[in-house]
């Protein structure tokens, strides 16, 4: 990959060095040295290298480039020539608002709500290989997007809690959540069952859940309680490199609103409850390994969703961080015989 004139790798506050790999890898350019057209052309030409770097490092951050608008970010995303994963086709429970066909708000939850570490949509059979984040407006304070190398976390978890780590790998996980009949923007997981499942009627919802292998129960106030099939909790992304690919931390710590109780949100795939002490170790490790990306307007972060988890810190002021998903993948639990 040949850098443009005036472009260079850079240190970024809080950057970590994990397994001889910078996390995230960060790039910048001299002020006014690279035009938007030059940058987008370079992204297109360097596409394969950039994706490989995101997988090697977990994330690649771009700061100081000529990307002051959402349309500029959209052009960046299109330059990578990745299959779009429209949010409307996802099974995520977060409420989001589209800005372009590829770009939408990262989460509409209130600023005081902390969003815990997770791999995007790992709690569903469908997930994106890549996530791209963009800062349109940086908050007055707080609002960082923490990132965590999930392969490093799993290696440490296996050392500290070997039985728990082994059980997560051998039985997978099941997730349960209650979806409202209409979008609830006050909740970090308030997307309605209509939007989540892409249906209009209860009969269509039941058919869709059947296709996906979910069990379900209709509750009062037009709410739908759904439980996933057994899903993997650990992913081998390359030979010998395993990641803690799940939503265990987010579900256990953060799936709480007037409809949902975190204690009922997640279990091992065999139906047994999680060891709370081991879960707390995983939560602690994620925080210890976290890199907090403090947003500057125009920042872009390219994330390999199978390698790195992300979260959101509470904030004050106006924060507009946008996202784009790419390359829909599917996963299912395969028992080890």
Indicate which CATH number applies to the domain containing 239: 3.60.130.10
**Segment 293-306, tens digit of pLDDT:** 999 999 999 999 99
Distance CA 55, CA 272 (A): 33
Q: Is residue 334 part of a domain?
A: no
Total of domains in the chain:
2
Whether a cis peptide bond, with omega within 30° of 0, leads into 24 is yes
pLDDT of residue 86 exceeding 90, the answer is no
Q: Is 48 exposed, middle or buried (0-12, 13-18, 19+ CB in 10 A)?
A: exposed
Q: Are residues 12 and 126 in the same domain?
A: yes
The reply to whether 73 falls in a domain is yes
Q: Token pair 């490790």 is at which residue? A: 285
Enclosing domain of residue 12: 7-148+293-329
Same domain, 141 and 26: yes
Tell me: pLDDT of 337 over 50.
no
Does 84 reside within a domain? Answer: yes
Residue among 94, 123, 122 nearest 110 (CA): 94
186 and 255 together in one domain: yes
| 161 pLDDT above the threshold of 60 | yes
**Judgement on whether residues 222 and 135 belong to the same structural domain of the protein:** no
| Together in a domain, 13 and 92 | yes
Token pair for 238: 């390359």
Q: What is the largest CA-CA distance in the chain?
A: 61
| 106 and 220 inside one domain | no
Pairing type for strands 224-227 and 315-316 reads: unpaired
Full DSSP string of 142-195? E--EEEEEHHHHHHHHHHH-HHHHHHHHHH-EEEEEEE-SS--TTSTT---HHH
If asked whether residues 250 and 142 sit together in one domain, one would say no
188 shares its domain with 300 = no
The count of residues in the chain is: 337
Same structural domain for residues 63 and 135?
A: yes
For the question of whether the overall pTM of this predicted structure is more than 0.85, the answer is yes
Q: What is the mean pLDDT of residues 61-73?
A: 97
Reported confidence tier of residue 251, pLDDT bands at 50, 70, 90: very high
Please check whether residues 278 and 161 belong to one and the same domain.
Answer: yes
The verdict on residue 336 lying in a domain is no
Residues 312 and 276 in one domain: no
């Amino acid at each position: 990959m040949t850098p443009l004139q005036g472009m260079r790798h850079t240190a970024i506050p809080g950057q970590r060095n994990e397994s001889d790999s910078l996390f995230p890898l960060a790039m910048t350019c001299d002020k006014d040295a690279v035009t938007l057209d030059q940058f987008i052309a370079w992204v297109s030409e360097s596409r394969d290298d950039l994706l490989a770097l995101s997988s090697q490092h977990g994330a690649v951050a771009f700061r100081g480039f000529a990307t002051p608008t959402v349309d500029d970010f959209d052009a960046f995303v299109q330059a990578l020539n990745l299959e779009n994963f429209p949010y409307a086709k996802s099974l995520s429970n977060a409420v989001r608002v589209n800005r372009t066909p590829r770009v939408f708000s990262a989460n509409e939850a209130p600023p005081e709500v902390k969003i815990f570490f997770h791999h995007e949509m790992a709690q569903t059979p469908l997930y994106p290989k890549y996530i791209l984040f963009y800062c349109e407006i940086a908050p007055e304070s707080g609002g960082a997007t923490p990132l965590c190398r999930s392969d490093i976390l799993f290696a440490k978890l296996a050392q500290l809690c070997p039985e728990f780590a082994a059980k997560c790998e051998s039985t997978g996980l099941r997730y349960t959540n209650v979806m409202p009949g209409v979008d609830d923007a006050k909740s970090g997981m308030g997307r309605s069952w209509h939007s989540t499942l892409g249906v209009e009627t209860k009969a269509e919802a039941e058919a869709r859940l059947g296709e996906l292998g979910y069990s379900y129960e209709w509750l009062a106030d037009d709410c739908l309680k759904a439980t996933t099939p057994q899903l993997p909790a650990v992913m081998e992304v390359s030979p010998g490199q395993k990641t803690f690919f799940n939503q265990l931390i987010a579900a256990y710590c953060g799936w709480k609103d007037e409809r949902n109780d975190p204690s009922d949100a997640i279990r091992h795939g065999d139906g047994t409850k999680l060891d709370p002490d081991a879960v707390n170790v995983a939560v602690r490790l994620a925080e210890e390994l976290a890199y907090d990306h403090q947003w500057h307007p125009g920042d872009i972060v390219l994330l390999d969703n199978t390698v790195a988890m992300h979260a959101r810190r509470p904030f004050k002021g106006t924060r507009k961080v946008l996202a784009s998903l790419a390359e829909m993948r599917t996963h299912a639990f395969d028992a080890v015989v």
